[in-house]
Structure 1
Amino acid sequence: MRSSLLATAAVSVLLSACAGTADNQAMMADGIANAGAHSLTIVPMGEYRTGMLDESAAEIPAFDPVSKRIFVVNGADKVIDILDMSNPSELTKIGTVELSTWGKGANSVAIHNGIVAVAVENADKQAAGQAVFFDTDGNFISAVSVGALPDMIKFSPDGKYVLVANEGEPNGDFTNDPEGSVSIISLAGGVDDLTDGDVRTVDFAFMNDGELPYGMRTSNPGTSSVAQDVEPEYIAVTKDSKTAYVSLQENNAIAIIDIETATVKRIAGLGFKDHSVHAFDASDKDGKVNIRTWPVMGMYMPDTIEAIEIGGKDWILIANEGDSRDYDGYSEETRVGKLTLDPVAFPTASSLQKDENLGRLKTTTAQGDTDGDGDVDVIYSYGARSFSVLDANGSMVFDSGDAFEQFLASNYGNVFNASDTENYSRDNRSDDKGPEPEGIAAGYVNGTPYAFIGLERQGGFMVYDLTNPTNPQFVTYHSDRRFSGSPEHDTAGELAPEGMQFVNASDSPTGNAMLVVASEVSGSTKVYDLK
């Protein structure tokens, strides 16, 4: 794996000379590009704010190029908000899509050729959910049953299929753990007359009796099968509409699915990031920014996954957020300070387990005892605090290493690894997943392919030039979070980017490519012009 850390460091050195508040530093940082990358201008435009803090009032956006409307999952009101983007400088809410007839609320939305598809979870979270279809005015068309907890919905680019990632989370007591699955809905007969017979289910029962691929993992108290443990999170589809890539976040793996046959072609384990090479800040109790190497293996555990064609080849982008199985009935979460560390593997365990070192780092009880003697031989952490590029086979060809934290430490030291709900909470997230990359979008701006990676906790998004997919170049970081403001009074700007959608220039009302970002904590949706 290769990284553009030297290029990033050069930008960090340049920016570290800039004095002032975090808000000023954000403006200075934005637009300063790596000399080895193409230039990009990001112009903030209109936004719509629900005024609801930390209520998931803006989660996933979907843009319709014909009506110039944005459809946004509003988890607080359990509806889809319809926003008018015909004037991108002024987003206005023009309606809602009510969902109570079909379940508890929406988790995802997608649009193709004037059809709005919504993933709706059941009131009983462990029961089958629904894929519900509307027109762009919010009028109901049809609905079909899918798997438990449909978490993401996506059209294939050719419009022939709709795919749904059914996460299948257990209940709080861990007494009911449905199998994770992917539903593939054929639209060959049109949307108006869809029935459950048009739905095929891709399951993972074939993994129950075999060995897991290297780099994949399970996490359960021993009562669940592998198929129950697998939790599909997000879907990317190749440009030719033939192959789907599905992130199995808690399992640290990617499923590669043949869409036409509805079969799993391959499960690609993502392996582990060696933090004795790639540094990170592991403690929220050391009173400083302290990015250094540690004897820890990071589990990539991507949330959002995206596909882009570059040079005639498919490349898969993943945002390495990290996640655990943490329920009342079973939790794998603990901290390194509570582990019994193997004295041979960790001869300095007493020092490592101090709060100012590794003691506060969140880790797992599900892995680590490699020889079965009851102590921990390998320490694992959640997420990789990075984004990665995979080839079409699911093999990792690039990871951004420690570039995100290094950049933020150099330029946002007084708010480094801050919480997404409290300003100036420096170092608050270092013991968890750092800046927490979650959302990712990609597309071409003036002929150059770019990746946009949203940082859920820190806020804002990183931008990389993907011209060479095996060695992407850092371009810039843009943030509209205002640390001088107040989250409680809705003056802190955009908090916790959750969902991101790239808009092609040919579909945009400005004639330029655009980016739509829905921020979960601030309950806001904002659009950006890209030049």
Structure 2
Amino acid sequence: MRRLSVTALAATTLALLAAPPALAQPDRLDGHGPGPLSLSVLGTHASGVYDASAAEIVAHDPGRQQLFVVNAAAARIDVLDIADPTTPTLVSSLETVGVPAADGSAVGDGAVVNSVDVRADGLVAVAVEADPKTDAGWVVFYVDGEPRDAVRVGSLPDMLTFTPDGDTLLVANEGEPAEDYSVDPEGSVSVVDVAGVIGELTQDDVRTADFRAWDPDGGRELPADVRVFGPTTDPQRRVSENLEPEYVAVDATGATAYVALQEANAVAVVDIAAAEVTDILPLGFKDHSLPGAELDVSNRDGAIAIESWPIKGVYQPDGMAAYEADGATYLVTANEGDSRDWAGYGEEYRVADLVDEVAPLCEDAFADFPGGVEELVAEENLGRLNVTAADGLREGDEPCYEELYSFGGRSFSIWTTDGEQVFDSGADFERITAERYPEMFNSNHTENTFDNRSDDKGPEPEGVTVGTVHDRTYAFIGLERIGGVMVYDVTEPASAEFVRYVNNRDFSVDPESEDWRRAGDLGAEGLTFIAAEDSPLPDTPLLAVANEVSGTTTLFRIDGGDGPGGPTEPGEPTESSAPRPTVPPGESTPAIPDTTAPTGPDGGTDNDGDVAAPDGLADTGVDGRGLLLGGLLLLSAGAGLWLLGRRRNAA
């Protein structure tokens, strides 16, 4: 039994009028403000390798007009010539195995390449994971395609980036445990001095920023919401073993780095000159019971059902970027979510399994749900949602879960450097993809299947990059599962606006078939913005996207975004963030405007599957929004009653 669909829908729609300002609202979804920025595919390089991480991270060298693409499984970097961006061409590869390092070691067989960055003068830095991954890894440096230096860094170097002046390289050493937890390296950030002559680096040029100050004997108190959980091999190193750096962003001055600690749901602050972690900022949790923060939680309900639920989302960002606005630094995070799921310890359970195998739900904590906890854990409700067993447990003689925490925010967020959230995209990603691809809503990246990711992180935002187009700042967020890129104007951080969604994927082609190459881009992973002044096309910014499943690297041309947009023309579609009624795949609803018909440059879709956000709704103010939502409420209720009638007749 679904949860009183019409009543819940009506309540949710009315509640949008009082939604908190940090969540995206209807007047932020219509694209009002910036001009009609558009993305169109220029060219794609296809590795011909399927689902083997042949295109993960991408970096750009404007001097040579080359892209450097991480080919993880092959332990190399593929170099693409993009002088003609319509035909990216593989010209060489940078091999890592066998390269000698300053400590006397050499990159061994079984190594995995995880990240790449390019300095302004063309110096290429590559992060290489050892085999086994718990051993110390390497950074290998290349000049003109030849290895010139290598230094040893921490365990599992997962991401690296140069500071703006190019004098320092920062490396996030994730330090994941062995499968059986027999070894659990400390997480750390390597600070590598590369101001000197490349070819003469020593291990003395590598310093380590660690987390020992927050260990039991370290003297500093860890903030309460920083997640430290699971086994440890050394109780005196419990925190430093537990924190696992994922991604690094650097402020414009090059003085401070911000490091995503994904599993811990926190951001570390690093003083680069001192090579010291100075603070750890907890990110808190997303309340999915609030208006504007709804989500679809079941892959067994046979419907698009983006609704409020009594669960908390753990943001757990993967990709992160830093940018300046009004003289202050802000952080942009892609809230992917991640769990610890090893042979020696696993935190991830479906809600129904959590109740059966760990502890029941507290009856008083979920008493407001219609039908109580028994109905709540049904598979068409929360029963199949993946949650963590590490949080929310009320201890005592009869332990029970008083809160449920799911992985990821299904969103992107903007934060101050003090860890205060000023914007979250709320339910935008699921709503927009549902409107654009109703028959492939929450599809996976390896198959065309309706609704098979709703129980596990949904669209799964993975990477993010930020760039400036005509004095406006935009965030580009890649969706790992259904694919494509969400574009937001983030010039004003607290009132970011959805601009456009583009997806270079062909759902008419089965990714599991022999014809998979025609399916387009699958599994957006790494994104790089190429500014107009650095582009191979005169005065034209580009976006490069690496896709790990299809093994493709695609260049998008960015046009427009050069001023205020005009009002929506009569007949143009508008985008809405109002709740979508429960609709079986293949059936339509009158509550959602048609955003799939081709239109002019200010709205709708083009031949690249590019969904624009037309202008006009924001000018209506509170009264206009109330009228819009009132109409949506009536239409939604009518659709819900019609569906209930159908179900009763079918029964």
CA contact (8 A) 2:184 2:233 kept: no
Counterpart check, 1:217 vs 2:237: no
User: Residues of 2 paired with 1:146 and 1:214: CA distance?
Assistant: 30
In the other structure, the counterpart of 1:281 is 296
1:345 aligned residue (354, 362, 365)? 365
RMSD: 1.3
User: Residues of 1 paired with 2:122 and 2:500: CA distance?
Assistant: 34
CA contact (8 A) 2:38 2:500 kept: no
CA contact (8 A) 2:166 2:195 kept: no
TM-superposed CA distance for 1:100, in Å, is 1.3
* Correspondence list, 1:420-435, <5 A: 420-423=445-448, 425-435=449-459
CA contact (8 A) 1:250 1:301 kept: yes
In the other structure, the counterpart of 1:501 is 528
Identity across matched positions, percent: 47
User: Residues of 1 paired with 2:178 and 2:169: CA distance?
Assistant: 27
Q: 1:88-113 CA distances to partner (integer Å, 9 max, x unpaired)?
A: 01000001111111140210000001
TM-superposed CA distance for 1:486, in Å, is 2.7
TM-superposed CA distance for 1:36, in Å, is 3.1
User: Residues of 2 paired with 1:496 and 1:182: CA distance?
Assistant: 27
User: Residues of 1 paired with 2:55 and 2:176: CA distance?
Assistant: 22
Counterpart check, 1:234 vs 2:254: no
User: Residues of 2 paired with 1:309 and 1:362: CA distance?
Assistant: 36
CA contact (8 A) 1:435 1:455 kept: yes
In the other structure, the counterpart of 1:124 is 132
Counterpart check, 1:524 vs 2:544: no
Secondary structure of the corresponding residue to residue 219 of structure 1: coil
User: Residues of 2 paired with 1:154 and 1:281: CA distance?
Assistant: 35
How many residues align? The count is 506
* Correspondence list, 1:162-173, <5 A: 162-173=169-180
TM-superposed CA distance for 1:123, in Å, is 1.4
TM-superposed CA distance for 1:37, in Å, is 3.2
In the other structure, the counterpart of 2:438 is 413
Q: 1:133-185 CA distances to partner (integer Å, 9 max, x unpaired)?
A: 001x3201101110000000100011010000000001111111101000000
* Correspondence list, 1:240-279, <5 A: 240-277=253-290, 278-279=293-294
Secondary structure of the corresponding residue to residue 470 of structure 1: helix
Per mean C-alpha deviation after superposition, the further-off stretch among 216-225 and 484-493 is 216-225
CA contact (8 A) 2:28 2:495 kept: no
User: Residues of 2 paired with 1:111 and 1:177: CA distance?
Assistant: 31
Q: 1:18-69 CA distances to partner (integer Å, 9 max, x unpaired)?
A: xxxxxxxxxxxxxxxx123332121211110011111100000010000111
User: Residues of 2 paired with 1:305 and 1:149: CA distance?
Assistant: 19
* Correspondence list, 1:472-483, <5 A: 472-483=496-507
User: Residues of 1 paired with 2:278 and 2:35: CA distance?
Assistant: 36
Secondary structure of the corresponding residue to residue 357 of structure 1: coil
In the other structure, the counterpart of 1:175 is 182
TM-superposed CA distance for 1:529, in Å, is 1.4
1:76 aligned residue (73, 77, 93)? 73
Q: 1:367-417 CA distances to partner (integer Å, 9 max, x unpaired)?
A: 111444421111000000000001122221111111111112222111110
Return the TM-score normalized by structure 1.
0.93
Counterpart check, 1:149 vs 2:174: no
Counterpart check, 1:390 vs 2:422: no
In the other structure, the counterpart of 1:139 is 146
Return the TM-score normalized by structure 2.
0.76
Higher helix proportion: 2
Higher strand proportion: 1
Per mean C-alpha deviation after superposition, the further-off stretch among 36-45 and 176-185 is 36-45
Secondary structure of the corresponding residue to residue 263 of structure 2: helix
Secondary structure of the corresponding residue to residue 213 of structure 2: helix
Q: 1:304-359 CA distances to partner (integer Å, 9 max, x unpaired)?
A: 01011122221110000000010111111111112211121123110110000000
In the other structure, the counterpart of 2:104 is none
Unaligned runs of 5+ in 2: 1-20, 99-106, 560-651
Amino acid of the structure 1 residue aligned with 2:549: V
CA contact (8 A) 1:301 1:323 kept: yes
CA contact (8 A) 1:7 1:474 kept: no
In the other structure, the counterpart of 1:31 is none
Secondary structure of the corresponding residue to residue 374 of structure 2: helix
In the other structure, the counterpart of 2:581 is none
User: Residues of 1 paired with 2:44 and 2:172: CA distance?
Assistant: 29
Secondary structure of the corresponding residue to residue 450 of structure 1: strand
CA contact (8 A) 1:108 1:152 kept: yes
TM-superposed CA distance for 1:528, in Å, is 1.1
TM-superposed CA distance for 1:211, in Å, is 4.1
1:321 aligned residue (325, 330, 336)? 336
CA contact (8 A) 2:232 2:241 kept: no
Counterpart check, 1:515 vs 2:512: no
Amino acid of the structure 2 residue aligned with 1:327: W
CA contact (8 A) 2:299 2:380 kept: yes
Amino acid of the structure 1 residue aligned with 2:477: I
2:480 aligned residue (434, 437, 456)? 456
User: Residues of 2 paired with 1:232 and 1:406: CA distance?
Assistant: 31
In the other structure, the counterpart of 1:23 is none
User: Residues of 2 paired with 1:376 and 1:355: CA distance?
Assistant: 18
User: Residues of 2 paired with 1:525 and 1:70: CA distance?
Assistant: 9
Unaligned runs of 5+ in 1: 12-33
Amino acid of the structure 2 residue aligned with 1:92: T
> CA 1:474/1:154 → structure 2, altered by over 3 Å: closer, same or farther?
same
* Correspondence list, 1:300-315, <5 A: 300-315=315-330
In the other structure, the counterpart of 2:53 is 56
User: Residues of 1 paired with 2:487 and 2:433: CA distance?
Assistant: 14
User: Residues of 2 paired with 1:206 and 1:214: CA distance?
Assistant: 15
